[in-house]
Amino acid sequence: KQQVLIAPSLLAANFLELGKEVEMVNRSEADWFHLDVMDGRFVPNISYGLPVIAQIKKAARKPCDVHLMIEEPEKYADAFQKAGADILTVHAEACIHLHRNIQQIKGLGMKAGVALNPHTPVNVLENIIGDIDVVLVMSVNPGFGGQAFIPQTYHKIAQVRDMIQQQGAHALIEVDGGVTLDNAAALIKAGADVLVAGSFVFSAANPENTIHLLKEANR
Ligand code: DX5
Ligand code: ZN
């Protein structure tokens, strides 16, 4: 199995020093920039949006993994592509026509991800798993950084992994929320391909080394 990918979430970055934070991620062993977009409707919080992502994209030397926690994401897929999203992830719960939304994202030349809230059963992916590039398993309820990891996530990762195997699909399994060095190795063992980490990285005394430690978690 390929080494785990690390996607630091800039939600926990110091926005007054955003350029320096982006440079730190560029320098580090991180693989993707994880960018959380919240609309105050799908989730009870508002983060940042298109102009901020467009600026990050100019400085980023790694793919931008944009996690849309918004209603009607189909209205904005084109704008996020133009702002620089390489991977665009929508929530299954926010999409009445999820299959169409995935085709739209891929048609715009981006990789397509689907995120699942903690309560959403994995079987909603059964008929589209072969069409998507990323399954984003939420290990907290979306909306805030710094929340406690939900342990049922391990079982859910295993369910997604089994579905991918059974169908011969290629989607990566990404885990988002409450990821630390206490659970990273177990998450990788359960089948996670990508770990998102926000507060654990950016609150650390040495964020660059913390990314290194996450990258090495299953060694
Ligand atoms: C939560 C976001 C996460 C968040 C993770 O709604 O999707 O990406 O930034 O933050 P931590 O790692 O602090 O739980
Ligand atoms: Zn996220």
Q: Output the tens digit of pLDDT for each of the chain's 219 residues.
A: 679 999 999 999 999 999 999 999 999 999 999 999 999 999 999 999 999 999 999 999 999 999 999 999 999 999 999 999 999 999 999 999 999 999 999 999 999 999 999 999 999 999 999 999 999 999 999 999 999 999 999 999 999 999 999 999 999 999 999 999 999 999 999 999 999 999 999 999 999 999 999 999 987
CATH code of the domain covering residue 138: 3.20.20.70
Contact assessment for residue 102 and residue 88, using Cβ atoms and an 8 Å cutoff? no
User: Is 170 annotated as ligand-binding?
Assistant: no
- How is residue 175 written in tokens? 């885990």
Please identify which of the residues 65, 133, 176, 193 carries the catalytic annotation: 176
Cα separation, 169 vs 187, in Å, equals 20
List the domain range (segments joined by +) for residue 103. 5-215
Q: How many CA atoms lie within 13 A of 10 on its CB side?
A: 32
Say what the pLDDT of residue 2 is.
79
**Inter-residue contact 39 to 69 (CB < 8 Å):** yes
Residue 144 annotated as part of some ligand binding site: yes
Q: Within the chain, where are the H helices?
A: 18-27, 50-59, 77-83, 98-107, 153-167, 184-190, 199-202, 207-215
Structure confidence at residue 151 (pLDDT): 98
Ligand 1 atom with the shortest distance to the CA of 146: 13
- The residues with which 174 forms a beta bridge, in sequence order, are 136, 194
Q: According to the model, what pLDDT value does residue 1 have?
A: 63
> What per-residue confidence (pLDDT) applies to 145?
98
Tokens found for residue 99: 């299959």
From 36, 39, 65, 193, the catalytic residue: 36
Task: Classify residue 100 as exposed, middle or buried by CB count within 10 Å of its CB (0-12, 13-18, 19+).
Answer: exposed
pTM of the full predicted structure?
0.98
Q: 72, 93 in Cβ contact below 8 A?
A: no
Q: What is the pLDDT of residue 219?
A: 77
* Residues whose CB falls within 8 Å of the CB of residue 20, separated by 6 or more in sequence, listed in order: 14
CA distance 89 to 22: 21
ipTM of the complex: 0.99
Question: 26-37 in b/e burial notation, b at 16+ Cβ within 10 A?
Answer: eebbbbbbbbbb
Is 9 labeled as ligand-binding? Answer: yes
What is the distance between the alpha carbons of residues 164 and 170, in angstroms, rounded to a whole number? Answer: 7
**Substitution site in 139, 147, 181 for ligand 1 pocket (most atoms within 8 Å of beta carbon):** 147
How many domains in the chain? Answer: 1
pLDDT at 218 (0 to 100): 86
